[in-house]
Structure 1
Amino acid sequence: MFNVLKTLMTGASARADEALTDHFAIDLIEQKVREAHAGLGGAKNTLASLIIRQRNEERHVARLDQEIGDLERRTSLALADGQDELAAEAAAAIAELTNERAVRQATCAQLVQRVVRTQASVAKANRRLIDLRQGMISARAIDAERRAQRSLNRSIGNSTAMQDAEALIKRVMNQDDPLEESDVLDEIDAGLNGASVRDRLAQAGYGDRTRVTGGDILARLKAAQAPKTNE
C-alpha cells in the first residue's frame, strides 16, 4: 500500500513539475540563456588570460635570445684575447639562460595549444549561444501566439453570452411560420367539412358555386347599370 501511494505521489509531483515548467518555459529559457552568456564571458576571460601569458612567454624568449646572443659574442671576444676564466663564467651564464629559454619555450608551446583549444571552445559556445537566442525569439513568438489564442477562446469561443445568443437564434429560426400554419389549418378544415370538394365541383360547372367571386360582383354591377344606358 505504501509503495502504491509513494508511486502515485511521485507521479503527481512529476506532473506538477512538468506543468510548472510549461507555464514558466519562456522565463526558464531566458534564465538559461543568461547563464550561458555568463559562461561564455568566463570562457572569454580565460582565453584572454591564456593569450596574455603566451605573449609574455614569447617576449621572455625573445629577450633571452638577445641576451644569449650578446653573451656569446662577448665570450668569443674574451676567448680570442685569452681570457679563459672570464669566458668560462660567461659560458656558465649562457648555459643558465639557455636552460631558462628551453623551459619558457616549452611553456609557450603548451600555452599555444591551450589557446587554440580554448578558442575553438569559445567559438563553439558562441555559435550555440546565437542559436539559443534565435530559438528564444521563436519561442517567445509562439508562446505569445498561444497565449493570445487561449485568451481569445476564453473571451469569445467559450463565452456564455455567445452560446446563449446562438441558442436563441436557432430557436427563432426553427419556429413555424404563423401564416403558413394558418393556411394549412384552413386547408385541413376545408377538407374535413367537404367545402373544398364542393368548390372544385362548382368551378367545374357542376351545381351552384358556393362562394362569390370578383367576376360575380362585376357582372351584378354591369347588370344594374344596363337600363340606365338604354334610356
Structure 2
Amino acid sequence: MFKRITTLIRAGAADAEEAFTDAQALTILRQQLRDAAEGLEGAKRAVAVVMAYAAREQQSAARIAGQIADLETRALAALGRGREDLATEAATAIADLQAEAEATARAIAHYDAETRRLRETVNLAEQRLRALQRGRQIADAASRTQKLRGTLPDGVTASLTEAEATLARLQARQSHAEAVESAMSELGRAASAEATVARLAAAGCGAALRPEAAQVLARLREKAL
C-alpha cells in the first residue's frame, strides 16, 4: 500500500510538472531561444578568436619566410667571399627558421581546419535558431488566436443572445400594443355606426331595430288562431 501511495504521489507530481510545463511552454521556449542566441554569439566570438590566432601565425610565417630569404642571400654572398664560417652560421639560422616555419604551417593548418569546423557549426546553429524563432512566432500567434477564439466568441454570443431576447420582447410588446389599439379603433368605429343606425331607426328611417309591442301582439294573435 505504501509503495502504491508513493507511486501515486510521484505520478501526481509528474503530472503537475508536465501540466505546468505545457502551460508555460511559450515562456520556456522564449527563454531557451534567448539562451541559444547568447550561446551562438559566444560561438561566433570563438571563431573570431581562432581566426585571429590563424592570422597571427600567418604573419609569423611571412616574417620567417622573409628572414630565410634574406639569410640565404647573405649566405651566398659569404660563400662568394670565401667566408665559410659566416655561411655556416647563416645555414644554422636558416635551419632553425625552417623548423619554426614548419611548426607555424602546422598551426595555421590546425587553425584553418578549426575555423572551418566552427563556421559550419555556427552556420547550422544559426539556421536552426532562425527556424525555431519562426516556429516560436507561429506558436505565439496560434496561442493568441486560440485565446481569442476561446474567450471572445462566448462573450459576444451571450451578448447577442441577450440582445435578441430583449428585441423579441420589445417587438412582442409593440405588436400587442398595436393590436390593442387597432381593436379599440374597430370597437370605436362599430359603436359609432351602431349609434347612428339606432338614431336613424328611431327617426323612422328604415326598419326598426327592435320589434314594437304592437307587432309582437299581432304575431301572438296569429299563433292563437
Is TM more than 0.5 here? yes
- Amino acid across the alignment from 1:57: E
Gaps of 5+ in 1: 170-222, 226-231
Which runs of structure 2 are paired with 1:1-231 in the superposition (5 Å)?
1-152=1-152, 155=155, 224=207
Where in structure 1 do 4 or more consecutive aligned residues deviate above 6 Å? none
- Amino acid across the alignment from 1:112: D
Following superposition, the deviation at residue 160 of structure 1 comes to: 11
Equivalent residue for 2:178? Answer: none
- Amino acid across the alignment from 1:134: R
Sequence identity percentage: 32
CA distance in 1, matches of 2:57, 2:120: 22
CA distance in 1, matches of 2:134, 2:68: 55
Superposed CA RMSD in Å reads 2.8
Following superposition, the deviation at residue 24 of structure 1 comes to: 1.2
Equivalent residue for 1:180? Answer: none
Following superposition, the deviation at residue 154 of structure 1 comes to: 5.6
Following superposition, the deviation at residue 149 of structure 1 comes to: 2.1
Are residues 57 and 87 of structure 1, via their aligned partners in 2, closer, same or farther at CA, if it must alter by over 3 Å?
same
CA distance in 1, matches of 2:141, 2:155: 21
- Amino acid across the alignment from 1:141: A
Instruction: Tell me how many residue pairs correspond in the alignment.
Output: 173
- Amino acid across the alignment from 1:110: H
Gaps of 5+ in 2: 169-205, 209-225
- Amino acid across the alignment from 1:106: R
- Amino acid across the alignment from 1:42: G
CA distance in 2, matches of 1:12, 1:154: 32
Equivalent residue for 2:215? Answer: none
Are residues 14 and 154 of structure 1, via their aligned partners in 2, closer, same or farther at CA, if it must alter by over 3 Å?
farther
Q: Secondary structure at the match of 1:101?
A: helix
Equivalent residue for 1:187? Answer: none
Following superposition, the deviation at residue 161 of structure 1 comes to: 11
Following superposition, the deviation at residue 155 of structure 1 comes to: 3.4
Following superposition, the deviation at residue 11 of structure 1 comes to: 1.4
Following superposition, the deviation at residue 150 of structure 1 comes to: 2.4
Following superposition, the deviation at residue 17 of structure 1 comes to: 1.2
CA distance in 1, matches of 2:33, 2:121: 17
Following superposition, the deviation at residue 151 of structure 1 comes to: 2.0
Q: Deviations over 1:47-106 (max 9, x none)?
A: 000111111111110110010011011001101111011111111111111110100000
- Amino acid across the alignment from 1:44: K
Could you state the TM-score of these two structures normalised by the residue count of structure 2?
0.69
CA distance in 2, matches of 1:137, 1:160: 32
- Amino acid across the alignment from 2:36: A
Could you state the TM-score of these two structures normalised by the residue count of structure 1?
0.67
